[in-house]
């Protein structure tokens, strides 16, 4: 099965297969042969988000964090995962949620962003589902929902609105460069 890969930054020319050539969606290049994407669904507050399963390396319970001086407010610190030093980002803070308390269902999604392993704190991982590419719709840019600018698109899964996250958009250019430098200095990934 083919999955979505990285592509252009414009994200404006969404075409679910009507014209020949490459198609981009939220900065992700979609191959015409892609019919579906398997995603990991997770909750932030009452909202349901998803990441392409090909971007998720593993899902773990939160580990003890060490602080990271002068990090952006949404970067909680770093963890040591089997010898790899991994920065941890609280997606609730990054997406502008006010309640960022930790609880038993919280999980870390270990994913790759800017060629660096990154842990993403989420409220709960709910399921793995397959999304039909033709069912993806543009992210709501008019209604400023939490984290809308980090989305590839939205769709319904079992009558629940699921927002597909583009992990490469979570960080600004400066933070992505710092992550790449951090990766080089620590030998992570």
> Total structural domains in the chain?
1
Residues 142-176 pLDDT 10s? 655 555 678 888 998 888 999 999 888 887 655 55
3-state secondary structure of 110: strand
Q: What is the mean pLDDT of residues 176-183?
A: 54
Cα–Cα distances in Å, from 72 out to 89, 103, 168, 171, 185?
Answer: 9, 23, 16, 10, 19
Q: What is the mean pLDDT of residues 175-180?
A: 55
Model confidence, pTM: 0.74
H-assigned helices in 10-165: 91-94
Q: What percent of the chain lies above the pLDDT cut of 90?
A: 36
Domain span at residue 135 reads 5-186
Residues 57-70 pLDDT 10s? 999 999 999 988 88
Q: What is the CATH number of the domain that holds 84?
A: 2.40.50.180
């Amino acid at each position: 099965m083919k999955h979505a890969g990285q592509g252009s930054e414009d994200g404006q020319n969404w075409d679910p297969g009507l014209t020949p050539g490459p198609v981009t969606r939220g900065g992700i290049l979609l191959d015409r042969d892609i019919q579906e994407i398997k995603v990991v669904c997770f909750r932030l507050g009452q909202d349901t988000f998803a990441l392409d399963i090909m971007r998720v390396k593993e899902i773990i319970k939160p580990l003890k964090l060490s602080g990271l001086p002068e990090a952006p407010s949404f970067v909680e610190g770093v963890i040591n995962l089997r010898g790899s030093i991994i920065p941890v980002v609280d997606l609730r803070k990054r997406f502008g949620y006010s309640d960022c308390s930790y609880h038993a269902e919280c999980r870390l999604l270990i994913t790759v962003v800017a060629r660096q392993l990154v842990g993403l704190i989420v409220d709960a991982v709910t399921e793995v589902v397959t999304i039909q590419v033709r069912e993806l719709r543009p992210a709501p840019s008019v209604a400023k929902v939490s984290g809308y600018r980090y989305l590839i698109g939205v769709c319904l899964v079992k009558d629940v609105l699921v927002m597909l996250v583009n992990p490469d958009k979570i960080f600004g250019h400066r933070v992505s460069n710092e992550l790449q430098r951090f990766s080089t200095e620590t030998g992570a990934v």
